[in-house]
Structure 1
Amino acid sequence: MRGIIFLLLVTLCYSARFFPSVLQPQAIDFPVQFFNQTLDHFNPTDSRTFTQRYWVNDKHWSGGDAPIILYINGEGPVSGPPSASDDFVVTLADNLQATIVTLEHRYYGDSSPFDDLTVENLRYLTVEQALRDLENFVLSFREGLRVGDNANAEFKIFNIGVSYSGALSAWFRLKYPHVTEGSIASSGVVNAILEFDQFDAQIVSATGSACSTVLLKTMRQLESLISNNDTNLSTKSKFLADMLSDADFYLMMGDVTGELVQYGHQADLCTPLVTSNGIDLVEVLANITVNSWSGKFGMAYQYGQDHLKKTPHVVEWADRQWWWQTCTELAYFQVAPKQNSVRSSTVDIGYFRSLCSNVFGEGTWPNTKAFNNAYGGNQTAATKVFFSNGSQDPWKWASVTDSLGMLEPAVVISCDNCGHGVLIRGCPGGCSPSDKLNQEREKAMKYVQQWLL
């Protein structure tokens, strides 16, 4: 059991499964701090606690009664609070003269209650427990500010998240509306979808006709090579994935194409394929995988189910924890569409059912209907939530893309490279046109200001 001390909060969600940034030295301006968190919030007879890491960025805080931005973190380790000048969270903090706090999600990074992630120990890794962590933490943090001249300060709280943590941001408003004044759910995946075939359908749409045609052709050639015993291993080796089963290899390849598009790097995927000029397409895709995807977004070994069965907690690993969350609550299983699939048909719902049972035990499977009944899916009853999505992001189909009411506005930011979390992160490949992002950020700013009044 890990242990001890105090608090803070910001959320960002990752699709990549390896986090080398946590191995880098912490910025001296934002030292890591610690909060002593309750292990089981819903069992009064269980007094166990564990240590959660948090960080504070108060460089924009004016003091007095200025608000707190609670930036929620998701399924990965954290190395510090939002601090880059082009981060919209920092823009908001500067405009509001607010302090930013961010809390590492339970079980991720160096905030795990256990050193051994057995199924028995993972049972406290739930959305309900994570939301209660946020409530417990941020109220304690606020009380810590109420000293001296600030003893009677209100210190209003506004929470923000991206992707899974964007969903947490919306759910936090739903479950704890008395704690926070409002929320931004950037690419907030609030709808737990069991068979998420819209994901790959969006990849085909986002990459355009020329690229998707070549991409589909490439994947069919790859399947032919993998199905041949004489070329199976040599082909996987080109992708540095010879340790993977065929099915796990195909899951990885779905992420290679999906994540490059998802995060606005479709040029890294499409340009080499479309301009291959007679070069073997599988060779081109292997080069893209090794040089543009691997290390930045994932590593082949992380897709192996033997790896997922490893129970020791490692700070920079998030694979087992995130699969636990998807296999028990959230799903988001990216199955191959019936037509025009860039993903092998091997990756069907049976594959995911087998993976969940193999890694966590027979019968492990999410009840997405019950989960959405509890949290509302994409018809959430949470109010004062600003939903935003990127036009090319495949995850938008698990989010809210149309306004649910005056207090639940939703925008889709339309531009080339407008991918996952674009409102907060911007476009790594450059937003084109850039004015679309600026317009929606201005709109979000007005809602935040209004809800904090």
Structure 2
Amino acid sequence: MQSGIEQELKIHGSFSVAHMLEHSVGESAGLECKAVLQETTQLIETKLATNGKALRATFNADNLVVDGDFLYYMADAAATAIQYGNPDKLCNPMVEAKKAGKDLVDAYAKYVQEYYVGVNVKVYDREYLKNTTIDEYSNYRSWWFQVCTEVASFQVAPSNDSIRSSKIDTKYHLDLCKYVFGDGVFPVVDATNLYYGGTKIAGSKIIFTNGSQDPWRRASKQTSSPDIMLLLTENATCNTLKCLTLRVTAWSVFPIGPATKT
């Protein structure tokens, strides 16, 4: 295997690792925020069942006509704040809204519009994911193909104490995979782990940038090799390392002072 610096990798295909991902989100959010988010999810589920059209409009997500797709969008909006090291942007306004007796769904919609606005809602629409036309968001279809055929890592709701909707279960993911990619598509995780080695990587001089709060760290290598470790700040899955200034000498890696943004 080639030496190098790798993003936090989903190196171990699994159907169950996603339960740990969801628990990690709750741990990083803290008990108070977690409870508020769980209540918000319940309110969203109720409104979706009684007046889904109005609820979707509140989140500018009218095209997400499948309830599961909409609820997945709701779950991702919260998890992303944790994944990229910004729990306060999520938790502060939500906890404040709860204490002030404000509508939690409206507060969450405001958070989504202000923080998660950079994500195009259409990438959660299974009709869009099914389209093979290449555009600037085609990487989402590519990611789902890897999920649906190799690694799984379905982001399902745990059987208890979950923040995301219980409707985001294994069946939802399998149905999505079938709808987007057709019959016969199934994540062969055992073959994937056998081919790539799972956590027993046949390589060295590789840096895994596992974020301390990033939920996806559970899908990566958990036990460090005896080589030097480097602690970097402000990094997460799917981030690049362009903002970091590093000196690499004979694979003894250390920062030249604080990480700087370009």
Which bracket does the TM-score occupy, shorter chain normalised?
A: 0.7 to 0.9
Q: Does 1:217 align with 2:217?
A: no
Segments of 5+ residues of structure 2 without an aligned counterpart are 254-262
Is the 2:85–2:236 contact (alpha carbons within 8 Å) kept by the matching residues of 1? yes
User: Among the aligned pairs, what percent are the same residue?
Assistant: 31
Paired residues in the alignment total: 249
Equivalence for 2:258:
none
- The correspondence of residues 183-194 of structure 1 with structure 2, limited to 5 A, is 183-194=4-15
Equivalence for 1:285:
108
How far apart, in 2, do the equivalents of 1:321 and 1:224 lie? 33
> Which residue of 25, 31, 41 maps to 1:203?
25
CA deviation string 1:298-348 (max 9, x = no partner)? 222221111111121124432222211211112221111112111111111
- The correspondence of residues 175-324 of structure 1 with structure 2, limited to 5 A, is 180=2, 182-195=3-16, 196-228=18-50, 231-244=51-64, 245-276=66-97, 277-295=100-118, 298-324=119-145
Is the 2:15–2:153 contact (alpha carbons within 8 Å) kept by the matching residues of 1? yes
**Does the C-alpha gap of structure 1 residues 243 and 326 become closer, same or farther in structure 2, counting only changes over 3 Å?**
same
Q: CA deviation at 1:410?
A: 5.9
Greater relative contact order (Cα 8 A, min sep 6): structure 1 or 2? 2
Q: Does 1:354 align with 2:157?
A: no
1:330 maps to a residue whose letter is V
Is the 1:329–1:367 contact (alpha carbons within 8 Å) kept by the matching residues of 2? yes
> Which residue of 193, 196, 218 maps to 1:372?
193
Is the 1:390–1:421 contact (alpha carbons within 8 Å) kept by the matching residues of 2? no
Which structure shows the bigger proportion of residues in helix conformation? 2
Q: Does 1:420 align with 2:223?
A: no
**Does the C-alpha gap of structure 1 residues 341 and 256 become closer, same or farther in structure 2, counting only changes over 3 Å?**
same
Segments of 5+ residues of structure 1 without an aligned counterpart are 1-172, 174-179, 427-436
Query: What's the RMSD between the two structures over aligned residues?
Result: 2.5
Is the 1:336–1:343 contact (alpha carbons within 8 Å) kept by the matching residues of 2? yes
How far apart, in 2, do the equivalents of 1:446 and 1:212 lie? 43
How far apart, in 2, do the equivalents of 1:366 and 1:421 lie? 21
Structure 2 counterpart SS, 1:380: coil
1:355 maps to a residue whose letter is L
User: Normalization by structure 2: what TM-score?
Assistant: 0.85
2:140 maps to a residue whose letter is D
How far apart, in 2, do the equivalents of 1:410 and 1:380 lie? 17
How far apart, in 2, do the equivalents of 1:447 and 1:186 lie? 20
Structure 2 counterpart SS, 1:185: strand
**Does the C-alpha gap of structure 1 residues 216 and 410 become closer, same or farther in structure 2, counting only changes over 3 Å?**
farther
Is the 1:387–1:401 contact (alpha carbons within 8 Å) kept by the matching residues of 2? no
Is the 2:209–2:236 contact (alpha carbons within 8 Å) kept by the matching residues of 1? no
Structure 2 counterpart SS, 1:424: coil
Which structure shows the bigger proportion of residues in strand conformation? 1
Structure 1 counterpart SS, 2:191: helix
Q: CA deviation at 1:280?
A: 0.4
